[in-house]
Amino acid sequence: MFKNSCLIAIRAIFLNKTRAFLTMLGVIIGVGSVVLLTSIGTGLQLYVKEQFVALGTNILFVVPGNPFGESGGFGNQEQAFLESTQAKLKIRYLDKILRDNRDVLKDGVATGVGIATAKYKNVTKKVTLYGVTANYETVRSTKADKGTWFTQTDNAKSRRVLMLGAGIAQELFGQVDPVGKKIKLDGKSYLVSGVIEKRGGGFGGPSFDNYIYPPLNTLFSDFDTELVDSFIIETKDESLIATAKKRIETTMLQELDKDEFSVFDQTQLLDTIQSILGVLTAGLGGIAAISLVVGGIGIMNIMLVSVSERTREIGLRKALGATPNLIMLQFLIEATLLSIFGGMIGLLIAYLGSLAIQVYFPARVTLEAIILAFTVSSIVGLIFGVAPARRAARLSPIEALRYE
């Protein structure tokens, strides 16, 4: 009997293709937008994760202040900012950390930040200076795409050399090979030693490709700062991260108070970003889900009209032996099928859309999103099909047959 009701419902849908399509449109758009938006969110999460993995999973960061707060999220930003402006981190701490923990640590870089106006010929650009020691190349796996990295000696002697991020190199030099050329930073002349290979990033995070990387000591002497903004420390192995973190903290506690520094690893940062993106994805999906509800109401509207329009048909079916339950089943199945078909079309559109978006932006349609969209659309059809189906089931056969 259920199979027959399905057949009747499918037949009814195919008898009115245009109406069926228009009815489905709401659900198509609803499911399409939910899946597409969540696919973008999920894609972003995966992208961020990949970026972090690419940066190395055996990396620990030491920063001044406590940017993660007690609860793990980005805590007291104001406090963190104040901490970071005070030169709490000293290069000698890094030396000490590396010296004391040779068994677990491989290498470490101190970084400092400054701002300057860069000028090459008539191109002027405000840039972020990211002062690093020469071993930044190995610790952060940032190879020189053109030229070579400056040396430890360049750093030690505060020589005016620098590395360019791929992005800023393009902006300042265009097609010209920057290696060996000189650029001016706040009027002083620097030799371009090399260009770092493209690293990607962005989406609100630091844009490493647009930084200029002078030796840390050069940054300190030329830009009148002593501010070390982080240590980037490489452990010998990924498995040593937890041990290394404790050991670094122990060493640092000998120099600074508990609140004056933080040691964190990529996963901690990653977790925070992922949780933000997760909320964002859910939020976007939620907003899109409203259109799914609107789609459901659309189905209900059309089904109600359809019940009036097919009053005679319903009357006839009843006269020929259809029980109220069978009529109800027929219309419920019809509404649900419409919704599911709509969901499938929406899914297909979202999938194609995500493929198209992938050219510019990470997007990934997950199985969870598909299952969710499918379930929700069938439930929407079922719920919004009840009212029309009940109306159809309650029609009296005589009234219905008399209906013109």
Instruction: Kindly state the smallest distance separating residue 16's Cβ from another protein, in Å.
Output: 9
The yes or no reply on residue 307 touching another protein (CB under 8 A) is no
- Contact segment (CB under 8 A) with another protein among 19-27, 144-152, 323-331, 349-357 equals 323-331
Residue 186 neighbours by CB under 8 Å, 6+ apart: 116, 117, 222, 223
Which residue is it, tokens 């999460």?
Answer: 45
Least separation in angstroms between CB 334 and another protein: 14
What whole-number distance in Å separates Cα of residue 309 and Cα of residue 400? 10
Q: How far is the CB of 316 from another protein (least distance, A)?
A: 5
Q: Is 398 in the site for another protein (CB under 8 A)?
A: yes
Beta-carbon-side half-sphere exposure of residue 177 (alpha carbons within 13 Å): 8
Based on the shown chain and the rule CB under 8 A, indicate whether residue 152 belongs to the binding site for another protein.
no
Can you tell me which of 191, 241, 294, 326 binds another protein, judged by CB under 8 A? 326
- Helices 91-100 and 241-253, axial angle in degrees (round to 10): 130
Burial of 264 (0-12, 13-18, 19+ CB in 10 A): middle
CA distances from residue 372 to 331, 350, 359, 377 in whole angstroms, order as listed = 24, 14, 25, 8
Q: Helix, strand, coil % (nearest 5) of the chain? A: 60, 15, 25
DSSP β-bridge partners for residue 190: 183
Out of 25, 55, 276, 316, point to the residue binding another protein (CB under 8 A).
316
Between residues 148 and 325, which has the closer beta carbon with respect to another protein? 325
Out of 191, 324, 366, 379, the residue judged to bind another protein by CB under 8 A: 324
Q: Binding residues for another protein, how many (CB under 8 A)?
A: 22
Alpha-helical (H) ranges within 102-240 are 136-139, 152-156, 166-173, 216-222
**What burial letters (b/e) apply to 96-109, b meaning 16+ CB within 10 Å?**
ebbeebeebbbebb
CB nearer to another protein: pick between 7 and 355: 7
Name the DSSP letter for residue 197.
Answer: P
10 is a site residue for another protein (CB under 8 A): no
Indicate whether 15 belongs to the interface with another protein (CB under 8 A): yes
CA distances from 296 to 29, 163, 197 (A): 11, 58, 51
Work out the number of other CB atoms within 10 angstroms of the CB of residue 254: 9
Q: Which of 32-40, 47-55, 126-134, 318-326 is the region at the interface with another protein (rule: CB under 8 A)? A: 318-326
Least distance to another protein, CB of residue 297, Å: 27
Q: Which is nearer to another protein, 319 or 352 (CB)?
A: 319
| Vertex 48: Cα angle to 150 and 211 (nearest 5) | 30
6 binds another protein (CB under 8 A): no
Identified binder of another protein from the candidate list 128, 313, 348, 390, rule CB under 8 A: 313
The minimum distance between CB 5 and another protein, in angstroms, equals 9
Kindly tell me which of 7 and 290 has the beta carbon lying closer to another protein.
Answer: 7
The sign one gets for the Cα dihedral 365, 366, 371, 373 is: negative
Q: Is residue 359 within the footprint of another protein (CB under 8 A)?
A: no
Binding characters for another protein, 376-395, by CB under 8 A (x = yes): --------------------
- If one asks whether residue 305 binds another protein (CB under 8 A), the answer comes out as no
Binding status of residue 21 toward another protein by CB under 8 A? no
User: Does 319 interact with another protein (rule: CB under 8 A)?
Assistant: yes
Q: Which is nearer to another protein, 46 or 401 (CB)?
A: 401
Q: What is the dihedral of CA 258, 261, 263, 268, to 10 degrees?
A: 100
Dihedrals phi, psi of 291, to nearest 5 degrees:
-65, -25
Q: Is 322 in the site for another protein (CB under 8 A)?
A: yes
- Residue closer to another protein (CB basis): 200 or 397: 397
Residues from 236 through 295 that contact another protein (CB under 8 A):
none
- Return d(Cα 177, Cα 295) in angstroms, integer: 57
Q: Could you say which residues in the range 91-130 bind another protein, by CB under 8 A?
A: none
Closest contact distance (angstroms) between CB of 359 and another protein is 44
- Residue at token pair 């406090």: 79
Contacting another protein (CB under 8 A), which of 17, 254, 257, 321? 321
Residues that bind another protein (CB under 8 A): 1, 4, 8, 11, 15, 312-313, 316-326, 396-398, 401
